[in-house]
Amino acid sequence: MLENIPQELRDRNQWVYAGPGKSPFNARTHKLASPTDPSTWSTFAEAVASGQPVGYVLSAEDPYCFIDLDTPTENEKKIHSQVFRSIDTYKERSISGKGVHMIVRGAIPKGVRRDHIEVYSDSRYMICTGDVLKNSPIADGNELVNNMFSQMGGNDQSADLIEGTSVYTLEELWEVAHNAANGDKFDKLFNGDWKSDYESQSEADYALMSMFAFYSRDNAQCREIFRLSDLGKREKAQRDDYLNYALQKFRAQQPALVDMGDLKDMVSLSVKTPMESCSSASQAVQTVAAEQEEALVFPPGLVGDVARYILSAAKRPVPEVALAGAIAYVAGICGRAYNISETGLNQYIILLADTGSGKEGAGVGIDKIVAACQKTIPQVIDFQGPGTFASGQALIRHLDVKPCFYSVLGEFGLTLQQMCDINASPAQVMLKKALLDLYSKSGFDRILTESVYSDSDKNTKCVKAPNVSIFGEATPETFFAKLSASHIAEGLIPRFLMIHYTGKRPEGREDKAPPPDKNLIQSMNNLYTVAIGSKMKSTYMEVDISPEAKKILKAFDKFADVKINEGKDLNKQLWNRAHLKALKLAGLIAVGVNMHNPVVDPYSAQWAVDFVKKDCEIIDGKFARGEVGTGEHNYEPQLRKIVEDYLEMTPEQRLKAKGPKDSVEHKVVPFSYIRKRAKKLSSFQNDRRGSTLALKLALDDLVEANVLQKMDPVQSLSLSRQRIGFYYTGNQF
């Protein structure tokens, strides 16, 4: 039967024979062969002469891809049948007679396995039998195998290459990658040391190219620097189409990087020694990082995909809005179906942004995805929660019907104010209590106990593993104006992940928002299916954590301990749940990356840790600067912060802040700068005496306390040649 094997395969010198345990053996030396070492392969005739079953070795150098349909379970028979009938190509029985081999032309980034189906195109060998089921020519199946790769957890899609620009020279790009957290891994790959970490050089090539593509949007630059590496020395790497394939795969799943300013101003790199040979890490390059405003990076996987769609569909696109909505939406679907360390994946998100800045974009994008998914799965509406919470009892009764849902809540800052107010109504008090309980009782074995009232209509039932995810929006003024340390101590605010958009109002779009693409809808439908099945069977899936990710999360837990032990009451509550928030968020990202086998990897763990750190630091910083609450007690810390900010500026920055030229070298602060900053603070804006008088009196108090000294008008005139007031800053700054 071996003569039935396609001639084009038999003509290639990529054959081995199967020895004990199906291990591949070299037909010439009769020693173990390697799927990554062509010197251990032989001709078809030599392999047949061994008298043993023969196998073809897949390589990145050939155009073939093998689909192996092993013995399916009863539930898997339907999908196996669909794959079998999906393409007319060469098909044969496996050596056991129970499985099927399909051979097509195509390539995927790495092998995948799921539901007793395996797909490979490189660095594997397949025992060929010639026991034909369909003796058709080998067909082009690249689209098929890449669709299978994506649906089987590979999360790989193809993207058109769009030529971008880079802020780095070749030397600088190498140095950035070398100094990154995974710099050791980069150095090994750059120097050609891949065999201990990767099954094939093609996988290693992809890993190294991904590192370059992460830092540079210039595809030509990525190809050029790759070819300077030891991996880039082989003939295959000289082909643009081969390197472009890796770039396409990475660009398709690359997190959306949104610039918050001119990148050239963000990082300045000073090269101490020219890099004479990129393949050697011996040359030293000194990086000097300037103060920068961090770019928002969407997480990998489905959460990032949803965020990108929300951004593309928004009337006024704001990345922070898109990310906040995506986290809450995905968590509202799968929060109950998955657990990590005995807790569900529900998320409380609050987005702070000015009125008219595009906060409504999250709800619009989510609704479009839901509408598209509902055409296939009507039950998706069961995960959509109410738009308002009238009381805690109403919320819990809703959970009895929908134990897992997300809610998009407008003007949620006012709701938080009412719940935390000392004169809150009984309904608001109960709502706050319910939200406190629900956050920590989302684990599958947890139960929200029943409540009994004198009014039996208010009674609530027990709810197992309740999962509520919230996307609440608020203006910064509303949220921070009434915030106090006591609100942090109560524990509700620290349960929320906070995203603060401080940018300008984005330009509105005039064209119609695009519909969600079919790949996104397919992924969302898959997630909905898992969540619905979990609810029906009363089961859940555990999210695993890789050893490297555990180290990152453990280090963050210790970091939070240090913050808590600093002794400040504010820190104790603010950082008390930081590790839990990072854990839940990392778990959610892992589900989005691979919902069938979710594992928190180091990147997802670090992304979640950085996100939660920034969240905690928003509140911490606001309190430290006196930018929360209203009243005269805030004036001194707020004015101190304004003065400190000015003094920390370079002379050039002071000039940009309208500081008179002759004053920028002196330890004095112009009144015009103080006034401009202070008038933006709610404490001054809301002062019943008016902001101008309130500021004057507050500055007079600081002068009287010898914190500031007012400069003599004659001296002021000599500095600025204008009638501008100045304040000496004294020794306290």
What the block records as the tokens of 717 is 């005139």
Are 587 and 338 spatial neighbours (Cβ–Cβ below 8 Å)? Answer: yes
Residue 346 CA to residue 57 CA, distance in Å, equals 46
What the block records as the tokens of 288 is 């000097």
> Domain segments of the chain: what residues?
2-152, 170-295, 298-605, 632-728
Between β-strands 668-670 and 709-710, what pairing exists: parallel, antiparallel or unpaired? unpaired
User: With bands split at pLDDT 50, 70 and 90, how would you rate the model's confidence at 459?
Assistant: low
Q: Following DSSP, what letter does each residue of 463-487 receive, concatenated?
A: EES-EEEEEEEE-HHHHHHT--HHH
Scan for tokens 């003599």, then name that residue: 712
The mean per-residue pLDDT over the stretch 635-664 comes to 78
What the block records as the tokens of 543 is 């999210």
What the block records as the tokens of 481 is 């104006």
Strand order in the sheet with 338-340: 343-344, 338-340, 541-542
The pLDDT score that the predictor gives to residue 454 is: 44
The pLDDT score that the predictor gives to residue 520 is: 92
Compute φ and ψ for 456, nearest 5 degrees.
-60, -20
What is the SS3 assignment for 120-154? ECCCEEEEECCCEEECCCCEECHHHHHHHHHHHHH
The mean per-residue pLDDT over the stretch 406-432 comes to 82
The mean per-residue pLDDT over the stretch 526-554 comes to 90
Residue 250 CA to residue 214 CA, distance in Å, equals 8
The one-character DSSP state at 270 is: E
The pLDDT score that the predictor gives to residue 130 is: 95
The pLDDT score that the predictor gives to residue 339 is: 94
The pLDDT score that the predictor gives to residue 72 is: 87
What the block records as the tokens of 713 is 């008008």
Sign of the alpha-carbon torsion through 661, 662, 664, 668: negative
What the block records as the tokens of 201 is 């050089």
Nearest to 497 by CA among 648, 644, 611: 611
User: With bands split at pLDDT 50, 70 and 90, how would you rate the model's confidence at 437?
Assistant: confident
Q: How far is CA 225 from the centre of its chain?
A: 27
The one-character DSSP state at 495 is: G
pLDDT in tens, 463-510: 788 999 999 998 887 777 667 666 777 788 889 999 988 888 888 877
Nearest to 305 by CA among 525, 520, 595: 520
pLDDT at position 381 over 50 = yes
The pLDDT score that the predictor gives to residue 218 is: 86
**Cα→Cα distances 39→13, 20, 125, 232, 584, Å:** 10, 21, 15, 20, 48
The listed range with the strongest mean pLDDT (43-47, 204-208, 566-570, 654-658) is: 43-47
Are 108 and 119 spatial neighbours (Cβ–Cβ below 8 Å)? Answer: yes
User: With bands split at pLDDT 50, 70 and 90, how would you rate the model's confidence at 172?
Assistant: confident
The mean per-residue pLDDT over the stretch 105-130 comes to 89
Nearest to 320 by CA among 78, 497, 82: 497
Scan for tokens 């802040």, then name that residue: 657
pLDDT in tens, 549-585: 999 999 999 999 998 887 666 677 788 889 999 999 9
Residue 513 CA to residue 367 CA, distance in Å, equals 12
Residue 387 CA to residue 393 CA, distance in Å, equals 15
pLDDT in tens, 246-276: 888 777 655 443 333 332 332 232 222 223 3
Q: Which residue has the higher pLDDT, 667 or 466?
A: 466
Are 581 and 615 spatial neighbours (Cβ–Cβ below 8 Å)? Answer: yes
The pLDDT score that the predictor gives to residue 250 is: 76
Residue 400 CA to residue 463 CA, distance in Å, equals 6
**Cα→Cα distances 247→109, 158, 165, 449, Å:** 11, 9, 15, 52
Nearest to 105 by CA among 131, 136, 144: 144
The mean per-residue pLDDT over the stretch 285-289 comes to 24
Q: Which residue has the higher pLDDT, 381 or 620?
A: 381
Maximum separation of any 2 CA atoms in the chain, in Å: 105
Are 167 and 158 spatial neighbours (Cβ–Cβ below 8 Å)? Answer: no
CATH number, domain 298-605, options 2.30.40, 2.70.98, 3.40.50, 2.20.25: 3.40.50
Q: Which residue has the higher pLDDT, 688 or 204?
A: 204
The pLDDT score that the predictor gives to residue 333 is: 95
Residue 109 CA to residue 696 CA, distance in Å, equals 66
User: With bands split at pLDDT 50, 70 and 90, how would you rate the model's confidence at 232?
Assistant: very high
Three-class DSSP category at 156 = coil
By CB neighbour count within 10 A (0-12 exposed, 13-18 middle, 19+ buried), where does 572 fall? middle
Residue 47 CA to residue 36 CA, distance in Å, equals 17
Q: Which residue has the higher pLDDT, 228 or 252?
A: 228
Burial 231-249 (b: 16+ CB within 10 A, else e): bbeeebbeeeebbbbbbbb
The mean per-residue pLDDT over the stretch 190-215 comes to 86
Q: How far is CA 224 from the centre of its chain?
A: 28
The pLDDT score that the predictor gives to residue 227 is: 94
pLDDT at position 36 over 80 = yes
Compute φ and ψ for 453, nearest 5 degrees.
-125, 165
User: With bands split at pLDDT 50, 70 and 90, how would you rate the model's confidence at 411?
Assistant: confident
The pLDDT score that the predictor gives to residue 546 is: 92
What the block records as the tokens of 530 is 């898992």
Between β-strands 100-105 and 24-25, what pairing exists: parallel, antiparallel or unpaired? unpaired
The listed range with the strongest mean pLDDT (190-199, 204-213, 321-330) is: 321-330
User: With bands split at pLDDT 50, 70 and 90, how would you rate the model's confidence at 664?
Assistant: low
The pLDDT score that the predictor gives to residue 4 is: 94
The pLDDT score that the predictor gives to residue 565 is: 87
The pLDDT score that the predictor gives to residue 307 is: 93
The mean per-residue pLDDT over the stretch 279-288 comes to 27
Nearest to 341 by CA among 442, 435, 438: 442
pLDDT in tens, 684-725: 777 778 888 888 888 888 887 777 878 777 666 666 655 556
The listed range with the strongest mean pLDDT (142-156, 291-305, 424-438, 618-632) is: 424-438
pLDDT at position 147 over 90 = no
User: With bands split at pLDDT 50, 70 and 90, how would you rate the model's confidence at 458?
Assistant: low
Residue 47 CA to residue 51 CA, distance in Å, equals 8
Residue 673 CA to residue 680 CA, distance in Å, equals 12
Nearest to 92 by CA among 53, 127, 142: 127
The mean per-residue pLDDT over the stretch 726-731 comes to 60
Cα R_g (the chain), whole angstroms: 31
The one-character DSSP state at 507 is: P
Residue 496 CA to residue 498 CA, distance in Å, equals 6
The mean per-residue pLDDT over the stretch 151-156 comes to 64
The pLDDT score that the predictor gives to residue 569 is: 64
Determine the residue type at 674: I
pLDDT at position 410 over 60 = yes
The least confident of 164-168, 354-358, 499-503, 640-644 is: 164-168
The pLDDT score that the predictor gives to residue 558 is: 93
The listed range with the strongest mean pLDDT (87-96, 614-623, 653-662, 682-691) is: 87-96
pLDDT at position 727 over 70 = no
Q: How many residues does the chain have?
A: 733
The mean per-residue pLDDT over the stretch 591-607 comes to 91
The pLDDT score that the predictor gives to residue 283 is: 31
